[in-house]
């Protein structure tokens, strides 16, 4: 059970305690230890159990970042995600538990947060394509590779996932349902497996899947089940390593306690970027009734239609404009912010029309 504690004028703390704790154990050990200056006060404690909402989990992760320590990376922008993972693993003198700072080779600039978020956005997108396979938007399984396991790539991927959630990057929402369940609990939920989960991982021979009964039409369902079990259980080493990396900041513990709240952070859902863009853009139109007002409204309507068309299409040609690029142009980052404090920063940004610029641009 997680308790969020407030002490007047002295900030906020979060402590975890067993569900079966009694009042004496809570008051005399955990609470007094958290607030030693209040040990001599008479009265009772008012406790509030966290509801486990997604924002609460993200706020907790954000608090676990060590602000007194930096985790610095110097990487080549064109070499992501491979160079990013390699440099991440070579940083033996520091820990990703600290604040991430990124420098791009050959580029001027000091990372005040924007470069870090850009790096995490590129890394999460690259990790999805490099280390996972499946249908876009329907969840993916980790790629079966003993080389990846031997090099501990999946552990590093898990750490990057945790850092991305805690430090303003995008959510790694591309896992299959059963993969997410395994990371939450450490066990495979056989009921959550489907035939589709094994289509990419079918064995060359049914017998290699561990099926020992007679191969005949009557045993079709059992054969399919054996293939599914074989194709998923062989991915356990990858998922175990991924889970180990995601222990950073106590992320796995949070997922175990609040699986429903964390679900949207890891499993594909319906995050509609166009709605976020249009609801957070406060267009400053010309005075009502003037000759400029009507064209400005037409342009904004066109922008909404254009963004919806490229988001619905889901795919784009190389070098073509995508919804992420539009979001980057408007907000400075190509993903919808997930941290509670960043959501507040992005609320209702005013955009004043530069009439001639918009005509040229479109």
* Same-domain check for residues 42 and 65: no
Dmax (CA) of the chain: 81
Q: How many CB atoms lie within 10 A of CB 294?
A: 13
Q: How confident is the model at residue 358 (pLDDT cuts 50, 70, 90)?
A: very low
Q: How many CB atoms lie within 10 A of CB 129?
A: 12
* Same-domain check for residues 316 and 354: yes
Q: Which of 29, 49, 69 is the last residue of a domain?
A: 49
154 contacts 148 by C-beta, under 8 angstroms: yes
How many whole angstroms separate alpha carbon 212 and alpha carbon 205?
12
pLDDT at position 203 is: 38
How many whole angstroms separate alpha carbon 146 and alpha carbon 237?
9
How many whole angstroms separate alpha carbon 302 and alpha carbon 283?
13
* Same-domain check for residues 163 and 66: yes
**Digit-coded pLDDT (tens) for 217-257:** 556 566 666 666 667 788 999 999 999 999 999 999 999 99
**Digit-coded pLDDT (tens) for 264-314:** 999 997 666 788 778 777 777 888 888 888 888 888 888 888 888 887 776
pLDDT at position 314 is: 63
* Same-domain check for residues 307 and 253: no
| Long-range contacts of 123-129, Cβ-Cβ distance < 8 Å, separation of 24 or more | 123/80, 123/81, 123/84, 123/85, 123/160, 123/164, 123/169, 124/160, 124/161, 124/164, 124/169, 124/170, 124/172, 126/80, 126/81, 126/82, 126/84, 127/81, 127/157, 127/160, 127/161, 127/172, 128/172, 128/174
284 versus 183: which is more confidently predicted?
Answer: 183
Average pLDDT, whole number, for the chain? 79
- Please check the confidence at residue 334 and state whether its pLDDT lies above 60: yes
How many whole angstroms separate alpha carbon 208 and alpha carbon 98?
45
* Same-domain check for residues 71 and 200: no
- Please check the confidence at residue 37 and state whether its pLDDT lies above 90: no
Beta strands in the chain (DSSP E): 2-6, 12-16, 66-75, 98-104, 132-133, 141-142, 281-284, 349-352
pLDDT at position 273 is: 76
Percent of residues, the chain, with pLDDT higher than 70:
66
Helix (H) or strand (E) holding 240: helix 236-245
Average pLDDT over residues 123-127: 96
Average pLDDT over residues 337-357: 63
- Please check the confidence at residue 342 and state whether its pLDDT lies above 80: no
We report the CATH number of the domain holding residue 105 as 3.90.1750.10
* Same-domain check for residues 277 and 356: yes
Q: Is residue 55 in some structural domain?
A: no
pLDDT at position 20 is: 62
Give DSSP secondary structure letters for 91-141. --SS-TTEEEEEEETT-----SSHHHHHHHHHHHHHHHHHHEES-TTS-BE
- Max mean pLDDT among 18-27, 120-129, 185-194 falls in 120-129
How many whole angstroms separate alpha carbon 32 and alpha carbon 346?
38
pLDDT at position 71 is: 96
350 contacts 280 by C-beta, under 8 angstroms: no
- Please check the confidence at residue 202 and state whether its pLDDT lies above 50: no
How many whole angstroms separate alpha carbon 223 and alpha carbon 215?
8
248 versus 199: which is more confidently predicted?
Answer: 248
Give DSSP secondary structure letters for 267-336. S-----HHHHHHHTEEEEPPPTTSTTHHHHHHHHHHHHHHHHHHHHH----TT---HHHHHHHHHSSSS-
pLDDT at position 356 is: 43
**Digit-coded pLDDT (tens) for 73-89:** 999 999 999 999 999 99
* Same-domain check for residues 167 and 224: no
- The CA R_g of the chain, rounded to the nearest whole Å, is 25
Residue from 200, 81, 181 nearest 135 by CA: 200
| Long-range contacts of 9-12, Cβ-Cβ distance < 8 Å, separation of 24 or more | 10/35, 10/37
- Max mean pLDDT among 203-207, 317-321, 338-342 falls in 338-342
Q: Is residue 54 in some structural domain?
A: no
* Same-domain check for residues 114 and 262: yes
Q: Kind of pairing, strands 349-352 and 281-284?
A: parallel
Q: Of 29-38, 69-78, 162-171, 185-194, which gets the smallest average pLDDT? A: 29-38
262 three-class SS: helix
272 three-class SS: coil
When divided into structural domains, the chain yields a total of 4
Q: How confident is the model at residue 357 (pLDDT cuts 50, 70, 90)?
A: very low
pLDDT at position 120 is: 96
pLDDT at position 75 is: 95
Domain span holding position 169? 61-179+238-266
Residue from 169, 77, 137 nearest 315 by CA: 137
Rounded to two decimals, the pTM is 0.71
pLDDT at position 360 is: 36
* Same-domain check for residues 88 and 161: yes
7 three-class SS: coil
């Amino acid at each position: 059970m997680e308790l969020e504690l407030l002490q007047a004028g002295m900030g906020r703390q979060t402590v975890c305690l067993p569900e079966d704790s009694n009042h004496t154990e809570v008051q005399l050990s955990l609470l007094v230890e958290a607030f030693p200056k209040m040990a001599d006060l008479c009265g009772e404690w008012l406790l509030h159990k966290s509801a486990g909402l997604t924002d609460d989990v993200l706020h907790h992760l954000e608090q676990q970042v060590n602000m007194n320590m930096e985790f610095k990376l110097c990487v080549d922008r064109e070499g992501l995600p491979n160079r990013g993972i390699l440099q991440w693993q070579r940083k033996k003198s520091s820990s990703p538990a600290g604040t991430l700072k990124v420098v791009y080779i050959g580029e001027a600039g000091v990372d005040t947060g924007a470069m870090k978020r850009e790096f995490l956005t590129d890394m999460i997108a690259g990790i999805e394509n490099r280390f996972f396979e499946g249908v876009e938007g329907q969840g993916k399984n980790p790629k079966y590779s003993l080389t990846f396991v031997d090099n501990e790539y999946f552990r590093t991927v898990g750490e990057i996932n945790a850092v991305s959630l805690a430090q303003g990057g995008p959510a790694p929402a591309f896992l299959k349902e059963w993969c997410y369940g395994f990371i939450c609990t450490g066990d495979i939920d056989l009921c959550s497996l489907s035939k589709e989960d094994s289509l990419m991982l079918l064995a060359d021979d049914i017998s290699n899947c561990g099926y020992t009964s007679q191969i005949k039409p009557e045993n079709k369902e059992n054969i399919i089940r054996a293939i599914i079990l074989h194709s998923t259980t062989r991915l356990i080493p990858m998922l175990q390593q991924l889970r180990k990396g995601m222990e950073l900041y106590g992320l796995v513990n949070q997922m175990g306690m609040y699986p429903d709240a964390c679900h949207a952070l890891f499993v594909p859902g319906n995050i509609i970027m166009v709605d976020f863009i249009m609801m957070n853009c406060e267009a400053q139109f010309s005075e009502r009734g003037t000759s400029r007002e009507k064209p400005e409204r037409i342009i904004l309507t066109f922008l909404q239609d254009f963004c919806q068309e490229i988001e619905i299409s889901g795919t784009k040609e190389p070098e073509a404009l995508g919804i992420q690029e539009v979001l980057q142009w408007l907000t400075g980052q190509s993903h919808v912010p997930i941290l509670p404090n960043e959501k507040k920063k992005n609320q209702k940004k005013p955009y004043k029309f530069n009439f001639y610029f918009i005509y040229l641009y479109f």
